[in-house]
Each structure stands twice: as structure tokens, then as C-alpha cells.
Amino acid sequence: MKLKRFNNFINESYNPLTYSGGDVTKMPIIGKVITIPIGPFDEATYDVVEIINDPKGNPVYVCNFWYKEYKKIPQLIHSELVKEYISL
């Protein structure tokens, strides 16, 4: 019974993020993000090709490389992990 409620919660609250659907490696770069350091990872800079919003309206940055190339899933960086966004 608990499992059924959990599955219903997941199905009702799951909203996948979508972007324009183009090839992110060929899209024009619109800006850069600098991420905050987390644990053993230092801050890093990434090129941004699109900005989308999560269900709460927070920006999510689409990078110009694939997270999973064989599935064509782009690398996404949530605004909570961003120290600075630089528009070009």
C-alpha cells in the first residue's frame, strides 16, 4: 500500500525538463556559467547554449556538450550550482 502511494506521487510530480531539441554541440553559445566548488570539485566554466526553467521557475542552463551522447541528453546545470552567469 505504501509503494502504491509512492508510485502515484512520482507519476504526479515528475515533470521532465525539455529544451529546444537541437544538437547542442552545434548551437550558438549565448553565455557562460561558473559553478560553485562542491566537495572535491573546484569551480568550473561551461559554455551555455540555452536557458530553460525548472517547474519552480528557476533557470537551468543547457551546456554545449552531451551528458549522455548515445541518448542525446545534454549537460544541464541548475542555477543553485551556479556562482555566476556571464551573457555574451
Q: From CA 64, how far away is CA 70, in angstroms rounded?
A: 15
Residues of the chain below pLDDT 50: 1-12
Which CATH architecture is the domain 18-87 placed in? Answer: Roll (2.30)
SS3 content of the chain, % helix, strand, coil (to 5): 20, 45, 35
User: What is residue 9's predicted lDDT score, i.e. its pLDDT?
Assistant: 46
User: What is residue 17's predicted lDDT score, i.e. its pLDDT?
Assistant: 84
Q: From CA 1, how far away is CA 37, in angstroms rounded?
A: 41
Main-chain dihedrals φ then ψ at residue 64, nearest 5 degrees = -90, 30
User: What is residue 13's predicted lDDT score, i.e. its pLDDT?
Assistant: 53
Q: How far is CA 59 from the centre of its chain?
A: 9
pTM: 0.82
User: What is residue 16's predicted lDDT score, i.e. its pLDDT?
Assistant: 76
Domain ranges of the chain: 18-87
